[in-house]
Amino acid sequence: MPTYTPPLRDMQFVLHEVFKVTDEFKAMPPHAEVDADTINAVLEEAGKFAAGVAFPLNISGDTEGCTLNQQTHEVTTPKGFKEAYAQYVEGGWAALSCDTAYGGQGLPFVMNQCLYEMLNSANQAWTMYPGLSHGAYEALHAHGTDEQKKLYLPKLTSGEWTGTMCLTEPHCGTDLGLLRTKAEPQADGTYKITGNKIFISAGEHNFTSNIVHLVLARLPDAPKGSKGISLFVVPKFKVNADGSLGERNPIYCTGLEHKMGIHGNATAQIAIDGAIGTLVGEPNKGLAAMFVMMNAARLGVGNQSLGLTEVAFQNALAYAKDRIQMRSLSGTKAKDKEADPIIVHPDVRKMLLTAKAYAEGARALQIFCTLLLDKAHSHPDEKVRKDSDELVALLTPIVKAFITDNGHIATNACMQVFGGHGFIKEWGMEQFVRDNRINMIYEGTNTVQSLDLLGRKVLGNNGATLKKFGKLVGQLVAEEGVNEKMAEFINPIAYLGDQMTKFTTEIGFRGFQNPDEVGAAAVDYLRVAGHLVFGYMFARMAQVALREIAAGNTDPFYQAKLQTARFYFAKLFPEVHTLMRTARAGSKVLMDTDAALA
């Protein structure tokens, strides 16, 4: 059976020593009083809930799955899931970073991110039920009417109700411009929604008395394509003016998907048969409102793979220290045993360090991004808010795609450490691999994220936002460029930072001549950008570790940081050289292949 220990020390290192979040909070009036002791105490309790309540249900929930009653359209979740959610709500976790105006605790987003990392390590399928509610909350908070906010936000904040996002339809996935769900205006200002949705995570369950669906649909006179999409809030049960529940809305779960992983989460097929909803935001501008939810979800999906990478690493490391097999190539290491622990073998260490490095880089990036979100929402300086928002927009596709791709590499590597035992269910490793696999697909496939990064976020503004991140890299290079002990961490990002402008310009110029050039280069480009971002994070972590060691701190934690950073730059970061070469190979070898793909 797998185990899980919340990585509190590493979170505290990134929060307090690398990014000094409490100093940042002092400049944000809503969070000025949040201190390190508060953060640490909250995260310690969050870790107890994740490890003690959610984690024990992970394997059993995967085995049992969800059950749909075809007559009532009700879904029963795995044993213990509903009770765990009740504990989650009772503990106030749903309200952690929500607006105090709606009953939230108003704590920084960065704390909610750390909570959800631990929950995703513990049980991704269970965590998706409350996790989807945050996106619905954010969309309504940003674009809802005063009446909608009054009706729905207090219940979503408390966790009394949960939320979903209903986008995908049977005939279209990412291309939302093709959706057919209809919204007919009614005399009372409401809308009658009719259509079918699929792949709706947490679309039906027995946790709460109501589920708040956010549904994309078309008005009768809507223009074709994505410019004709509107967003509606369609509750499972209609809500009376006083907040009490009214009659059942005809929005039903008609089937559950049979999936590779996340079996404990109800991935629902939803039939909407004249359900009553209200418009969120302006007519035909539903994507603007939905993107608030989608971007929150994309950051959340990256966090799912961070969580799985961490728990897979922990278990693979423990197994590698215990499992004996063969002798070390450089001589016997465990003389009192028949064979050496497999952790002595170089490639086993490579697999373990790959997972460790990808977890620690992802954690730093996630905390960096959610700190930017806190600045974008709460900083009094408009320029700081704007710059932070732009950087989050740039980094969101990297968080979603780079971290989930790395999660695939890492969980597979950790399963490999177990050998044949990794392929067996009771060790838990194969579930981490299966559960992670969806993260590369939903909320926009990783190829779509790559096109978003290169086409919209970089070329779309002529690299202006990329240059802003480049300035952060340049500042660190200028600060540490003459420090010989930092050279192994600074030189690689300084080189790549210089190369990125030329690389981006070259791909962009080709793309103006032939748009397929952007499509051919995008996935490789995102991975190069991901390594630049991770390299910056590891250089900052190494900077702190070296300073602590120079000051006489003998805590082995800091040596471990340096060793992980050295591994990352020596064994993982050099991938950028191959990626830039393959990106430059162009589209012809892909598109001039009709004979090969006949």
Cβ atoms within 10 Å of 591's Cβ, excluding its own: 13
Cβ atoms within 10 Å of 63's Cβ, excluding its own: 13
Stretch (H or E) spanning 393: helix 382-417
DSSP string, 419-452: GGGGGSGGGSHHHHHHHHHGGGTSSS-HHHHHHI
Q: Any residues with CB less than 8 A from the CB of 405 and at least 6 apart, and which?
A: 440, 446, 527
What is the spatial distance between Cα 567 and Cα 359, in angstroms, rounded to a whole number? 13
Q: Which of 371, 368, 356 is nearest to 306 (CA)?
A: 356
Q: Which of 391, 386, 412, 187 is nearest to 313 (CA)?
A: 412
What is the spatial distance between Cα 311 and Cα 313, in angstroms, rounded to a whole number? 5
* Token code pair at residue 366: 């996630």
Active-site residue, 430 included: no
Burial of 340 (0-12, 13-18, 19+ CB in 10 A): buried
SS3 content of the chain, % helix, strand, coil (to 5): 65, 10, 25
Q: Any residues with CB less than 8 A from the CB of 552 and at least 6 apart, and which?
A: none
* Catalytic hit among 443, 480, 517, 548: 443
Q: Hey, which residues are catalytic here?
A: 443
